Structure 1
Amino acid sequence: MITDVLSVAVLVGSGVVAGVLFAVALSVLPALVAMPPDRYVYTHQLIGRRWDPTMPIIVLSSMTVDIALAVFAEGPTTLFVVAAVLLLGVSVVSHFCNVPINRVVKSLDPAGIPVGWRDPRPLWRRWHLLRTTLAVAAVVVNSVAVVLG
């Protein structure tokens, strides 16, 4: 019974992570890339206000549930380990790649973009697409593990 509840929780959690990151990649990111630097900085600062700590909590909670399922579930428990590692990858890329870029952008004054400003959007996009790919893979692996379990 508890593994059924955990299975639903891991599908919802990893699905939310993949869905949010996919939506950002599909719609938000192209809009940010199309903006002039001052509007980008202003918009990035507005959009980024609510992500922390919500997304890290969902990612790490889903990873923890995957680990619990790897220990307690019957069936293909190795798949839950794989999904946990994929979610850990989402967290690592977010924490060490995207978040430092976000901090720099949040520290800027949109009305005073420095001369010679190095636009972080191409690098941020690459890291974001990596974590989106990891998140989508995690929800797929979790889905397969739950169906086969």
Structure 2
Amino acid sequence: MAELFLPLALLGNSLTAGGLLVVMVSSAPLRLALPADRAVQVHQLLTKPMEPLMPLCMALGIVSDVAFQFTTEHHAAGILCGIAATMQLKAVLVSLTKNVRINRWLASLDHTKLPSDFAERDPRAEWRKWNKVRALCALCALVLNVVAVGLMI
């Protein structure tokens, strides 16, 4: 049964890491470069389709890593997958406590009529910082999964 879980962990963690990495290196810098109204509009357009997908990918990676850890006979690979699950949980925690809060606020705005104090409340730099944190956690989880596969070959 364990042989099923590691490929699923790799799938979930690679989709998560890939999605967050693309945002980190392309989408987040774009949003910072745009005028505020356009940045809010772009954020709304790009975030909406990702909201149902990313939690599923993260959950697949975490559950599969934990399942592999407790079903494998490869002790070292199991430990690495347990650590990978912990790194993904950190990414989830950052998402829920930092990025989702900002996403919801930006989703509630009308990009054609931003609040008068938007310049003071502009969350783009903070959102980018926390996205980097969660992307790096997800990338660490993926690397740990790849090393676990390498130990089993």
- Whether the TM-score (by the shorter chain) exceeds 0.5 is yes
Deviation at residue 43 of structure 1 after TM alignment = 1.1
Is 1:30 the counterpart of 2:33? The answer is no
Is 1:68 the counterpart of 2:67? The answer is yes
Q: Work out the percentage of aligned pairs sharing the same amino acid.
A: 36
**Length-normalised TM-score, structure 2:** 0.93
Alignment check: 8 A CA contact 2:8 2:60 kept: no
RMSD: 1.0
Q: Residues 58-97 of structure 1 correspond to what in structure 2 (within 5 A)?
A: 58-75=57-74, 76=76, 77-97=78-98
Alignment-derived partner of residue 133 in structure 1: 136
Give distance in 2, aligned partners of 1:83 and 1:38. 38
Give distance in 1, aligned partners of 2:9 and 2:125. 31
Unpaired runs of 5+ residues, structure 2, are none
Deviation digits for residues 50-100 of structure 1, max 9, x if unmatched? 112211011011100000001001221111110000011111111111000
**Length-normalised TM-score, structure 1:** 0.95
Q: Aligned to 2:145, which of 137, 142, 145? A: 142
Question: Which of the two has greater helix per residue?
Answer: 2
Give distance in 1, aligned partners of 2:100 and 2:149. 32
List, as ranges, runs of 4+ consecutive aligned residues in structure 1 with deviation greater than 2 Å: 2-5
